[in-house]
Amino acid sequence: MERRSFLKAAAFTAAAWTFSRHEALAQQADSHIEILMDEPVGTIAPEIYGHFTEHLGSVIYDGIYVGENSKIANQEGLRSALIEKMRAIKAPVVRWPGGCFADSYDWRDGIGPRDKRPRRTNFWTDNFTAAQQKQNIPQVYEPNQFGTSDFVRFCKLSGAEPYIAANVRSLTPLDFDHWVEYCNSPRGTTTLAEMREADGSADPFNVHYWGVGNESWGCGGNFDPEDYAIEYKRYTTWVPSYGVNLHFVASGPNSDEQAWTRGFFNKLCHGQPSHDMHGVWGLSIHHYAWNLSRGKTQDWDAGKGDALNFEPIDWYELCKETDRIGGIILDHWTALGEFDLDRKVKLVVDEYGPWYRPGTENAPEQLLGQMITVRDAVMTGMTLDTFNRNADKVGMAACAQLVNCLNSLFLTHEDKFATTPVFNVFEMYAAHQGGKALRTEFSAPEVSYDRDGQPANFWGLNGSASLKGNTLTLTAVNPDVGRPREVEIVIRGASAVSAHAWVVAESDIHAHNTLDQPDRVKTHGADVSVRPDSIGFTFPPASVAKIEIQLS
Ligand code: AHR
Query: pLDDT at position 304, please?
Result: 83
Query: pLDDT at position 6, please?
Result: 30
Helix (H, G, I), strand (E, B) or coil at 174: helix
Cβ contacts of residue 265 below 8 Å, gap of 6+?
A: 229, 335, 336, 338, 339, 340
Q: Which atom of ligand 1 is nearest to the CA of 368?
A: 2
CA 116 to chain centre: 35
The pLDDT-based confidence of 27 (bands split at 50, 70, 90) is low
Domain boundary among 433, 455, 480: 433
Q: Residue 385 belongs to what H/E stretch? A: helix 374-389
Share of the chain above pLDDT 90, in %: 90
504 Cα to the center of ligand 1, angstroms: 28
The predicted model gives 42-46 an average pLDDT of 98
Could you tell me the CATH number of the domain that includes residue 241? 3.20.20.80
Same domain (yes/no): 174, 272: yes
99 Cα to the center of ligand 1, angstroms: 5
Same domain (yes/no): 380, 304: yes
Q: Where are the beta strands (DSSP E) in 320-362?
A: 346-354
Range of the structural domain that residue 519 is part of: 3-41+438-551
Per the model's pLDDT, the better-predicted residue between 197 and 301 turns out to be 197
Same domain (yes/no): 243, 215: yes
Lowest pLDDT segment from 10-14, 168-172, 250-254: 10-14
Lowest pLDDT segment from 268-282, 293-307, 528-542: 293-307
Nearest CA to ligand 1 atom 3: 99
Domain boundary among 392, 408, 433: 433
Nearest CA to ligand 1 atom 7: 99
Residue 328 · residue 255 · CB < 8 Å: yes
Q: Which atom of ligand 1 is nearest to the CA of 351?
A: 1
Residue 353 · residue 387 · CB < 8 Å: no
> What residues line ligand 1, using a CB cutoff of 6 Å?
54, 98-100, 214-215, 351, 400-401, 406
Domain boundary among 433, 451, 475: 433
pTM over 0.75: yes
DSSP state of 334: H
Query: pLDDT at position 18, please?
Result: 35
By most ligand atoms within 8 Å of CB, the mutation choice from 104, 219, 290 for ligand 1 is: 219
Q: Which atom of ligand 1 is nearest to the CA of 218?
A: 10
Nearest CA to ligand 1 atom 2: 99
Q: Which atom of ligand 1 is nearest to the CA of 99?
A: 6
Q: Which atom of ligand 1 is nearest to the CA of 98?
A: 6
Same domain (yes/no): 37, 52: no
Same domain (yes/no): 413, 524: no
Statement: residue 187 has pLDDT above 80: yes
The whole-angstrom separation of Cα 160 and Cα 50 is: 9
Q: Average per-residue pLDDT in the chain?
A: 93
Query: pLDDT at position 19, please?
Result: 36
The whole-angstrom separation of Cα 464 and Cα 449 is: 25
- Percent helix / strand / coil, the chain, rounded to 5: 30, 25, 45
Identify the bridge partners of residue 436 per DSSP, sorted by sequence position.
43, 467
Same domain (yes/no): 23, 89: no
CA angle 57-60-183, nearest 5°?
Answer: 135
111 Cα to the center of ligand 1, angstroms: 24
The predicted model gives 466-489 an average pLDDT of 98
The predicted model gives 15-36 an average pLDDT of 64
| 353-to-139, 374, 376 alpha-carbon distances in Å | 22, 13, 8
Nearest CA to ligand 1 atom 9: 99
